[in-house]
Structure 1
Amino acid sequence: METTRYDELRTLVAANFSETTQRLVDEALAYAAECLEKQVRYDGSPLLDHAAGVARIVISEIGLGRNSTLAAILHDVVRLAACGEPGDLMGVTSEIRRRFGDEVLGITVGLSNISKIRLKVSKEQAANFRDLIVSYSEDPRVILIKLADRLEVMRNLRMFPREKWRKKSWESMNLYAQIAHKLGLYSIKSELEDIALSYLEPAEYEHIHRKLEETERERQTFIDRFLAPIVERLDRQGFNYHVKSRTKSIFSIWTKMHKQHVPFEGVYDIFALRIILDCPPEEEKTQCWAVYSIVTDYYIPNTERLRDWISIPKSNGYESLHTTVSAGGGRWVEIQIRTERMDAVAERGIAAHWRYKGVNQGALTSEMWLGRLRELMEDTPHALAQRFDSRPSSGEIFVFTPNGDLRKLPEGATVLDFAFDIHSNLGCSCSGGKINGRAVPIKETLHNGDIVEILTQKNQTPKADWLSAVKTAKARSKIKAFIREEQAKSARLGREELERKLKNWKFGLTIDEAVGYLCKYYKLKAGTELYGLIATEKIDLSTVKEILTRWQSGEADEERRAAAAAAEQAKLQNAAARPAHSTDALVIDDNINQIEYKLAKCCNPIKGDDIFGFVTISSGITIHRTDCPNARRMRENYPYRVIDARWRQTAEGAFRVTIRIVAADTTGMANHITETVIRDLKLNIRSMNLASRGGLLTGTVDVEVPATSVVDTLVHAILRIKGVQKAFRTNG
């Protein structure tokens, strides 16, 4: 190893670590140089150059510590040993453990495992491959060093064979950049995307790069002039704030151009301005909307591009108020208004990883793990492993199809889960499978990285005991649906058969009388059970005829009277369910016998509205207004499912009411409406959707109100705004 070749790395280590660490780094460099002596990169330089470059990024751009630096230097040693003879790997791992410790060895093995993944260029599979990469990172530092590794490769991609450019660029853009984004490593994310774009779309990349350089000075002059009146007003009114301006990355601009089908000049937000307020939490909404009011006093907003993520934050926790305003001459400027707290969350991206659509049984999913890792990086970048006590992607496994597609399943999933995950028909006809070439039954549990093939039989159908063999909700619901469908089919056939026989036997009985008596005789809870037993020939019809004959002949008068009484009781119970005869009402904002209710979205009832309850098949009881557009249909078609309901007098809470507005399209109209609702009435706006057409501003505003008594006040206040022509409450 040349003594001066890695002086840049040594200088960086000396500036950040102790003398002990410097000695270990020198030892790692010497050991790696010995193991990689004959290994070179595509341009003929030593392969160790790559490891040294990764180590520099790990220290200076990610901020990791000694063990991460050592692992970065040694990771190619372990990777190449894993590709050789079994004895080679054993010798290397034992030597690294002896010299540098178990932590360093663990990180290098994790990096080696990721390098073995055969990534498939497929947009549909990208999310699953990202999660698979994370699932191999038992130590949180592994994924960070892998990002540094990929960034070093992309910075030197020009030396690689041309045939590798496209695949590595696609992986960087769709897999590694997305992981960096989730971690909040935004500079690494943007650099990976920009470099990847320069190889995937070189002409378009150069075009955008040249345009940015040409317009830089003009852009800054424009920003200063644009902000001048806003800054003067903010200062005069005593706001505590600062302004950030940022130019989009080339990749972001390119994405906008393609999504919106516009040239460079047609991208609204080549740059964005952020006005960031420093204020107490209780004043956040008020101050943000006040700043919005100032901005729109000077510049006309595009109402279709107003994004209110303050009243209702995004599902990932993002909060900000976005507006796009016209600065004249066909130029548009995006302005983001937020507080220091909101900006910290948006920049760190922590909140984005705590909502997960999928299986989560108490353990951390890969998304949540990445979010935890981001938090820890900010607090203690040099002691990650000590503060991290959870395996990533716990509760998930990743399984391959024979052709290399990747599926994500919950831990403990079986062959049958995998079959249903691919397709319902495949699941219904599944008779077994092969895991890594080995034949297994449908109940066999899958493990991370398994290659699974599904075996089917034409006459195979789901059975009730399959429910105990599956873990996923999808498989369980499909099995239940099939069984219910079969039961319903059997019930129809059984009822038709019984009706036909009753006519032939000429007993003079109605089907209901016969079924009532037979259910009592066989001790069945419902007629559908009887029909199913008849359809599957578990009850013989000749026996049924004999039973009914005895009953008709008077031998079973007592049973007949009991059956008639049961039928009458059922009629009375049905009648009692009708609102006209109901004495008990469901009290809203309370539970009756643990019955849960929810408010219907078709009419959005609020406290004070006249209401009724409707018993749904799958969602419990929904509460509707009596003037709901669907009320008449429900009462006429399903009277037995309608129940009385009333509001508890002390009910508290916030209800959503939708106000439709028609107003003159004048400057600041949207601002006047928001000021009236928020400042004057002290109500929260949950969303606003106003559009300009033909000189009129029309649309809806969703507002939180405590009861109907406030609605009239709200509507009256909006109607008093100059230029408002109509304002009224809608059903939805």
Structure 2
Amino acid sequence: MADTTKDHLSAEDKERREEEMIQAAFQKLLDTYLASSHRRKVNIITRAFNFAKNAHKGVARLSGEPYILHPIAVAQIVCEEIGLGSTSICAALLHDVVEDTEYSKEDIATLFGPKVANIVEGVTKISGGIFGEKASSQAETFKKLLLTMSNDVRVILVKIADRVHNMRTLDSMRPSKQYKIAGETLFIYAPIADRLGLNKIKTELENLSFKYEHPDEYNSICEKLALTQPLRDKVFEDFTPPIRKALDEMKFTYEIKGRVKTPYSIWRKMQEKGVPFEEIYDILAIRIIYRPKDREKENQEALEIYGALKKEYRLHPSRTRDWLENPKANGYRALHSTFMSKQGQWIEVQIRSDRMDEMAEQGLAAHWKYKNEYSSGGDEFERWLNSIKEILDDPQPDSLDFLDNIKLNLFAREIMVFTPKGELKSMPLNSTALDFAFAIHSMLGTHCIGAKVNHVLVPLSYKLRSGDQIEVMTSSTQHVQPEWLNYVTTAKARGKIQGILRRENREKERKGEEILDAFLEEKGLQKVQKVIDRMRAYYCCNTNELFLQQIGDGKIKLNDEAVSYVRGKKRYKGWRRFVPFLRNTVDDNDTYQRQKEEDFVKGIDRKKILTINSEIIDRCHIATCCSPIPGDDALGYITPENTLEIHQRSCDIATRYKARYGNNIIAIKWEQIPNRLFRTSIYIAGADREGILFAIAKLLHDMPGYTIHRITLDANAGFFQGEIDISVHDTRDVQNICKQLRKIEFVKDARRIQEQSKNKEKNHEEGK
């Protein structure tokens, strides 16, 4: 009896402590709200809190905490870090009520009004899918989010706050769930936060995603940042006194801060450049935040500060970026320049007014605050929101295509180009002449045959550069072609082209179905799925839609051989028709192997970490897009064909899978796999000297246990660089080979080539 009482008292103590936690968290939210400039609507916020608390009563998160602490935390982020008011705070407190309890949107509307209810509805996840069972639920959720956002942008802001708190509490999730959520965050939510000008939140989402996807690299960079902090402090102390003196003489009120590059940003640059931490030289930047003496001359005063800096330090001739008159698409305004310190080090200086700084950190909330007097940033946001609405106006049955198209609008950096009349137009980096045509008008894009750029004729695929003046050329006989999808990079152009092609394909399908129906009737065959599947297999078409399109387009001519194949006579599909001695063995082996792989994948427990060992590796497919090897941070992806693909966690394709098909992601770890080699590539460079190729080849020959496939070296002006194609056991082998190669005299660099990083460096430099 005593034990029962003790347990009962413990439960009471736990309940009391939880209640204290809840009340303390809510009081902090109220205090933050009351300290803001918003109207004092405490009563409705308190009602929303009590309603949500009762609705989630007795429910705990995976961490063991009462569930209501999550909505309170989301509301705190909405209020404190994004700067929104009572309507958004109430929606944040209630955002999970419709999804997780018996209450409906109508109940929320009755108690708290239609605005709060609409935001809650927009944030609520959808179950199943409105575009078909095979569609990605993540893509569907995101599409619904944007559909609602087009009416009230607070939907996306509350959803971002929800994602921020989920990322801050991701420790309690299993690894495969962590990869899914982190990948989805990096793929969609961080770019949206960036586009909305929420710089602090964007940075935190990127770093948290990096922390969970690559914990070892994250911890390593954090440790190195901590160790090198005293050196950066010294640079800051040496560099800023002349600036302070100049600003004091100019009678400015100002603040000077040091901005340190984030771990994620450093890691991305290490990957793109293929260099270690020690060779990232722009970790520190100096930020000058000034209060204008005359608000109407805000930009002019920024240029005056810039002029004073030029008198103190030598300016880098090609690293000045002016976003004062022409802000970024997210409304960011500042003047960035790079100067040489007295110690011979290049240092970036960012010049912002106090309002520019607030808009850079708070984003959209600050845009609204200054909308009347400071409209340029808001205009940029409105233009972006209008482009989203335009894509939504052209609905696409494949929500995954939609997700990719929207993402093009999120990640794009901008260039500035001119129309023939001299009108300035912002376009995403890497836009083509065809993108520009669609940006001006859909009909112009549809009938585009080329363009004149700076009065010179260029093809549709010409990539625009800042300062180009473009005149679009059209023809009434021109029509959209499927290959145009290879020529465009913007979401609007891609969406319009896909829409037109879909309409044309539907017409081809209709015509193809008529031809097929007549053919089957003529040959005395029933139009049942088994017959269609056999016909489709004979012509090597993966889908019914493609089969009908190719019939309608005249690419497939229905014939008697296909009829014989359908009726089971000795005719074989595709290439097997021409290799009779392989017919049975290929079919049998393919079926047997496929069945083994499917059985293996079906038996995987997705909640556990799958250990890849010598028994399992032969049933996995090593992804060629990133070529992972044992020792890499990796994950598994269950394909629609029910096979398991292994990708590097940092792989761009894997990131898309995490965002699209998160439930198909498997957490994996490598075991040592003896007697198995994996192919990879090593970059090597150095001073060109006689005998260097022999020295490299001899070193590799003397290192047993590896297979060399190819060595290529190119020499120019006393410098060589090349690639070694080699098979190794794991990442330790690669590290050892690179270490030994760097010991060769005149070899200055040797490192593994990451497949997904190839060809990115140029775009990175252009987009700075």
Q: TM-score, normalised by structure 1?
A: 0.46
Q: Per chain length, whose mean CA-contact separation is higher, i.e. which structure has more relative contact order (CA < 8 Å, sep 6+)?
A: 2
Larger Rg: 1
Q: TM-score, normalised by structure 2?
A: 0.44
